[in-house]
């Protein structure tokens, strides 16, 4: 059964990158990049990630196995335009996805076909359409929301996400781009409920997987109202 999944590396205080880079200068030299590369260090050290990028080296360990598992589970991807534009040159002629990628955008562009089975289809009629097209193209595998973080948040807010995996890195960034914030559009007494389904520990990162069960009201605590024994403090 096809699931819509997302996974993101975050700091202990919930940031997936440093403060957003909006000024002059190269992104790689920005505070946004510095935070991003700190929380994704475990990925770039993994042999499975390096092999997928065509690089040598890396470590074969639990983290590498999780990277390999994530790639193997995805039959199609959904991505934001900022991430697609930023990765187009670094990913080269054979991007690591090896599957159809559907880019959510307001700016039309012809489908970009790359080697290794990767194609980028630019979807201008909304997030739900991009997810639906990815489902149709996934061949029974999962639809992976590749990011960035704001797109993951949009998919979660729209109720389109079935599974969220957070890779929690033991570092405090203090500020930056936060994954879960007010953009989720929750009411004052409303939350999004998740059920923890897997936890994998390593020294560099803790991988926590959740099934997304959906929006639910936040109920008042009714302790002490059931007529049971009470304790009197004198």
The model's pLDDT over 51-86, given as tens digits with 9 standing for 90+, comes to 999 899 999 999 999 999 999 999 999 999 999 998
- Give me 18's structure tokens: 């440093």
CA dist 50 → 30, 65, 96, 98, 139 (Å)? 23, 12, 10, 15, 26
pLDDT value, residue 231: 53
Q: Which CATH superfamily is domain 4-217 in?
A: Dihydrofolate Reductase, subunit A (3.40.430.10)
Closest CA to 151 of 189, 104, 111, 115: 104
pLDDT value, residue 230: 54
pLDDT tens for residues 189-219? Answer: 999 999 999 999 999 999 999 999 999 999 9
**Cα dihedral value 215, 221, 226, 232, nearest 10:** 170
DSSP bridge partners of 191: 216
Q: What global pTM score does this model have? A: 0.91
pLDDT value, residue 224: 67
pLDDT tens for residues 83-109? Answer: 999 899 999 999 999 999 999 999 999
User: Count of alpha carbons within 13 Å of 163, Cβ hemisphere only?
Assistant: 17
- 26 by Cβ neighbours in 10 Å (0-12 / 13-18 / 19+) ranks as exposed
Element (H, E) at 17: strand 15-17
If one compares 12 and 227, the residue with the highest pLDDT of the two is 12
């Amino acid at each position: 059964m096809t699931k819509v999944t997302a996974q993101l590396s975050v700091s202990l205080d919930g940031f997936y990158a440093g403060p957003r880079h909006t000024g002059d200068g190269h992104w790689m030299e920005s505070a946004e990049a510095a935070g991003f590369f700190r929380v994704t260090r475990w990925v770039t050290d993994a042999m499975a990630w390096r092999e997928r990028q065509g690089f040598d080296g890396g470590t074969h360990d639990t983290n590498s196995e999780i990277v390999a598992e994530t790639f193997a589970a995805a039959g199609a991807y959904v991505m934001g335009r900022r991430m697609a534009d930023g990765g187009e040159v670094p990913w080269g002629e054979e991007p690591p996805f090896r599957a159809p990628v559907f880019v959510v955008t307001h700016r039309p562009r012809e489908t970009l076909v790359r080697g290794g089975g990767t194609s980028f289809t630019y979807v201008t009629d909304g997030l739900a359409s991009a997810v639906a097209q990815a489902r149709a193209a996934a061949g029974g595998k999962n639809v992976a929301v590749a990011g960035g973080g704001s797109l993951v948040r949009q998919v979660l807010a729209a109720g389109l996400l079935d599974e969220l995996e957070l890779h929690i890195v033991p570092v405090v960034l203090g500020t930056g781009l936060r994954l879960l914030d007010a953009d989720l559009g929750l009411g004052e007494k409303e939350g999004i409920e998740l059920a923890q389904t897997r936890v994998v520990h390593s020294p560099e990162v803790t991988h926590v997987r959740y099934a997304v069960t959906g929006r639910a009201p936040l109920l008042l605590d009714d302790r002490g109202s059931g007529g049971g024994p009470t304790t009197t403090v004198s």
